Amino acid sequence: MNQNLAVVALGSNLGDSQQIVLNAMTRLENFSNEPLLKSSLWQTSPVDCPPDSPKFVNAVVALVPKPGETPESLLQKLQALEKEFGRAPKQILNEPRPLDLDLIAFGQETRRTENVILPHPRAHLRKFVLQPLTEIAPGFVLAGRGKTVLELLAELTSSDETVVRVEERT
């Protein structure tokens, strides 16, 4: 397993979420030195969102960062892409949005700054991140966790989080 991958979680719960996530995956190919590893699309229940939030379409990609890329520079590109897809400045925590891109990991780097926390502080607790990630990189180990994402997924006990594979459109 290539432990130097950058892992990005994608989510959408406003608009044509399935198409938005697929289009965002296509755009993320520009950020990688090799073809992306792409999960299936998953419909998931909103977690820690305002009441009556719509379900999400989620996916995960893993990319090989280009030479000179840093977690900070990649995060800036992800945030710019969110804006291109219509994401407005946050008004309410975890409010519905057309596109959410979270930098889950950047190889085995760790960060704890105002702008970047790596690995993502809740990724190991989120089925909507771990389930798609196990499709493309089951042996990946989040920095500091000491277990593969497959092992982390097996240990999750949250029963209120639903994650169902989406049948792709033809």
Active site amino acids: 87, 97, 100, 102
* Beta-carbon contacts of residue 121 (< 8 Å; ≥ 6 apart): none
Q: How far is CA 5 from CA 14, 73, 94, in A?
A: 29, 15, 26
Q: How far is CA 79 from CA 75, 113, 116, 117, in A?
A: 6, 16, 12, 15
The Cβ-side half-sphere exposure at 135, using a 13 Å CA radius, reads 19
Sign of the alpha-carbon dihedral angle for 112, 115, 117, 118: negative
Give the distance from CA 2 to its chain's centroid: 18
